[in-house]
Amino acid sequence: MNTALFDCKATIIMHGIMFLRKTNRVGCRVENIGFLSDTTQKFPVERGEFNKLNNGHKGFFRQLLGDYRVITDNHDLVKYNNDWFGYVKGCSQIVLKPKTTEEVSQILSFCNENRLAICLQGGNTDVVGASVPVFDEIVVSTELMNEIIDLDENSGVIICQAGCVLENIDKKLEGSGLMVPLDLGAKGSCHIGGNVATNAGGLRLLRYGNLHGNVLGLEVVKANGEVIDCLSTLKKDNTGFHLKHLFIGSEGTLGFITKVSLQCPPRARSINVAFLGLQNFDKVLKTFRKAKEDLCEILSAFEVIDSTSMEFAKETVGITSPIGDYPYYLLIETSGSNPEHDADKLYKFLDLVLVKHLALNGTLATEPAKVNAIWAIREKIPEGFKHSSVLCYDFSLPLSKYFDLVEDMRNHMGSLAKKVFGFGHLGDGNLHLQIEVNEMSKEVRDHVEPNVFERVKQMNGSISAEHGMGFLKANYLSFANPPSKVEMMRNLKSMLDPKGILNPYKVFPWTYS
Ligand SMILES: Cc1cc2nc3c(=O)[nH]c(=O)nc-3n(C[C@H](O)[C@H](O)[C@H](O)COP(=O)(O)OP(=O)(O)OC[C@H]3O[C@@H](n4cnc5c(N)ncnc54)[C@H](O)[C@@H]3O)c2cc1C
Ligand SMILES: *[C@@H]1O[C@H](CO)[C@@H](O)[C@H](O)[C@H]1NC(C)=O
Ligand SMILES: *[C@@H]1O[C@H](CO)[C@@H](O)[C@H](O)[C@H]1NC(C)=O
């Protein structure tokens, strides 16, 4: 018998799923008959009809990769079995670390023939339980696929292996006056392959768009080991179907991304930030429209924070508003190539919104230290979740109704909630709705879900703006999508991965109700 021990200390609530504070250690038991992971103890999920890893399989992997790229030591396996928040935990007994597309192809072809389930893993920063095994799936990690293959400084196109860490790609680009077109809190850990597989959004999507636009090409290995070469480096290429889009946001269920070609924009030489206090949401929307008109090509982020979020941040992490207390706050960033021109534009804009009484007060930062201090107000709010019990959601909503949901949920929760608040990427219609409670009881959760999802649907919003469905939201797939779309998704899945070995229990529902 093999036992790997896990220890979960955080109390974080993400996406309506509870992250329990546990003092006891939870074991992961693997016997001849059953696999018992922490996830399978929490959720009524059943293991698929996959074969179990035996010594013959291990021998094959060792021969292919050598001993040091086949991890089987229980202690070393822990970080691959546990997600970022320590909430979902699998009990895989093996992690494989290929370096080349050819090795990925051989691993997949072998697993497909032997009906062995695989969990694809990049930086393991996923927040919906997509990146860790549920049972004993073989973890195939892109950790050692970290080579930058080519950079064309003229076109700004970089080609790299899927396991390159986002921040490392950005550093590589800096010398050429370029940058990666996406920025997120996990950039020091997440891999570009994982970003593509989740269609990650982040802080600058407003300016640079999503990965469907910035990824020019992909190389992908199918479940049976066949390599699909869609690694175009062209901006324009209409020679047939744009197959890369199938894999962007597929969360490891359709193929293994091995290489990415990415369009990189010029690095901004000047970055300025304004922080405003506003009286009501109508004025927030008017300011947004004005910012798009007046700041236009240099506008690079538009974030909103409500007063309750600010109160929460003050109580949990000691952050206060530098401009006094207001019902709403806006963080507006510009990035461009000419510091004087950009600052001038932002000063004029700030003047105008104050004169027109759109904003009641505001401050502006042009020096990096002050710019960072203002960004910290926005970025530190989620840190507060570590100090309290908060249910976190990630929704897309029509802008006209963006904050209605916060008010609706406040009424719906009544005394069950301590605070209901919202902040987020307003410029992209992406609201992070938070519900702070005294205790994360079943009563509380049942009161919130699926009610909150139903409200989002009624508002013609999306129950996942940027994080995906993963394992934790997979059972809502048919709730969130029309039957015709779900059927086409199933057809594509069975065509590309007929035995269902790639990331089982993810995206597609694991219980049918
Ligand atoms: C602090 C923090 C901040 C974050 N901020 C944002 C944010 O602003 N915006 C946002 O959208 N998300 C955000 N996220 C979540 C986001 O999805 C991930 O950070 C990131 O995109 C995942 O990359 P990863 O390499 O860690 O992938 P993993 O977590 O390892 O995997 C994610 C998914 O991709 C699949 N996968 C990984 N590699 C491959 C591959 N090579 N081929 C096929 N499938 C693969 C996995 O199976 C899994 O389904 C944040 C997470 C954290 C922890
Ligand atoms: C307005 O903001 C400034 C900082 O820019 C601050 O010093 C001042 O106190 C604020 N005014 C009010 C009324 O809060
Ligand atoms: C949602 O969209 C439908 C059809 O597109 C429309 O009839 C309905 O009024 C919309 N609902 C809301 C709340 O806007």
Looking at the fold, whether 106 and 9 belong to one and the same domain comes out as yes
Is the residue at 495 inside a domain?
A: no
Contact 89, 42 (CB under 8 A): no
CA of 285 to the centre of ligand 3 (A): 20
Ligand nearest to the CA of 455: 3
Question: Could you say which of 97, 116, 141 is where a domain stops?
Answer: 141
β-bridge partners, 289:
none
Within 6 Å (CB) of ligand 1, which residues are found? 84, 120-127, 130-131, 142, 162, 184-186, 190-191, 193-195, 197-198, 200-202, 251-252, 256-257, 466-467, 503, 506
Report yes or no on 324 lying in a domain.
yes
φ/ψ of 362, rounded to 5, equals -170, 165
Instruction: Identify whether 219 is part of a domain.
Output: yes
Among candidate residues 327, 362, 381, the one where a domain is terminated: 381
CATH number at residue 159: 3.30.465.10
What separation in Å is there between the alpha carbon of 274 and the centre of ligand 1? 30
Question: Do 330 and 459 sit in the same domain of this protein?
Answer: no
Domain boundary at 329, 353, 381, which? 381
Q: Which residue minimizes the CA distance to atom 13 of ligand 3? A: 459
Are 224 and 280 members of one domain? no
**Is the domain of 395 the same as that of 369?**
no
Counting ligand 2 atoms within 8 A of each CB, the residue from 323, 331, 350, 370 with the most, and so the one to mutate, is: 323
Q: What's the CATH code of the domain at 351? A: 3.30.70.2190
Task: Tell me whether residue 251 is in a domain.
Answer: yes
Shortest-distance Cα residue to atom 1 of ligand 2:
323
Residue nearest to atom 14 of ligand 3 (CA): 459
For CA atoms 205, 207, 213, 214, give the dihedral sign. Answer: negative
Pairing of strands 138-141, 118-121: parallel
Name the closest-CA residue to atom 44, ligand 1. Answer: 252
d(CA 292, CA 510): 43
CB of 491 sitting under 6 A from ligand 3: no
Which residues pair with residue 161 across a beta bridge?
259
| Cα–Cα distance measured from residue 74 to residue 67, given in angstroms and rounded to the nearest whole number | 15
CB of 15 closer than 8 Å to CB of 128? yes
Ligand 2 atom with the shortest distance to the CA of 325: 14
Distances in Å between the Cα of 286 and the Cα atoms of 20, 330, 358, 383, 477 are 41, 12, 7, 30, 35
How far, in Å, is the centroid of ligand 2 from the Cα of 385?
Answer: 28
* Integer angstrom CA distances of residue 180 from 26, 264, 308: 40, 5, 33
Q: How far is the CA of 479 from the centre of ligand 3 (A)?
A: 16
- 352 CB near ligand 2 (under 6 Å): no
Residue closest by Cα to atom 6 of ligand 2: 323
Q: pLDDT averaged over consecutive 10-residue blocks of the chain (513 residues)?
A: 31 36 42 68 90 97 98 95 87 97 98 98 95 97 98 98 98 97 92 98 93 98 98 95 98 98 96 97 98 96 97 95 97 96 95 96 95 92 84 94 96 96 96 92 87 96 96 94 98 98 97 58
DSSP assigned state of 123:
S
- On the CB side of 487, CA atoms within 13 Å amount to 3
Atom of ligand 3 nearest to the CA of 458: 13
Residues 160 and 250 in one domain: yes
User: 9 and 105, same structural domain?
Assistant: yes
Same domain, 122 and 189: no
CATH number, domain of 51, equals: 3.30.43.10
> Is there a contact between 176 and 263 (Cβ–Cβ < 8 Å)?
no
User: How many C-beta neighbours within 10 Å does residue 356 have?
Assistant: 12
Map tokens 């960072």 to a residue.
372
How many angstroms does the Cα of residue 277 sit away from the middle of ligand 2? 10
Handedness of CA 440, 443, 448, 453 (dihedral sign): positive
Domain identity same for 305 and 325: yes
Both 348 and 370 in one domain: the answer is yes
Q: Determine the Cα–Cα distance for residues 507 and 417; give it in Å rounded to an integer.
A: 30
- Return the pLDDT at 28: 57
Domain annotation covers residue 483: no
Q: Is the CB of 400 under 6 A from ligand 3?
A: no
Q: Is the CB of 354 under 6 A from ligand 2?
A: no
**Beta pairing partners, 270:** 336
Ligand 2 touching residue 363 (CB < 6 A): yes
The predicted structure's pLDDT at residue 34: 55
CA 427/CA 333 separation, integer angstroms: 11
Domain holding 455, by residue range, is: 388-471
Name the residue with the closest Cα to ligand 3, atom 5. Answer: 460
Q: Give me the CATH number covering residue 434.
A: 3.30.70.2740
Q: Is 441 in the pocket of ligand 3 (CB under 6 A)?
A: no
Q: Are residues 108 and 159 in the same domain?
A: no
Instruction: Tell whether 7 and 131 lie within a shared domain.
Output: yes
Q: Total domain count for the chain? A: 4
d(CA 168, CA 141): 18
- Whether 51 and 125 share a structural domain: yes
Residue type at 196 in one-letter notation:
V
Which pLDDT does position 13 carry in this prediction?
Answer: 36
In this structure, is residue 435 part of a structural domain? yes
CA 330–ligand 2 middle distance (angstroms):
15
Residue 507 lies in a domain: no
DSSP-derived pairing of the beta strands 389-396 and 359-365: unpaired
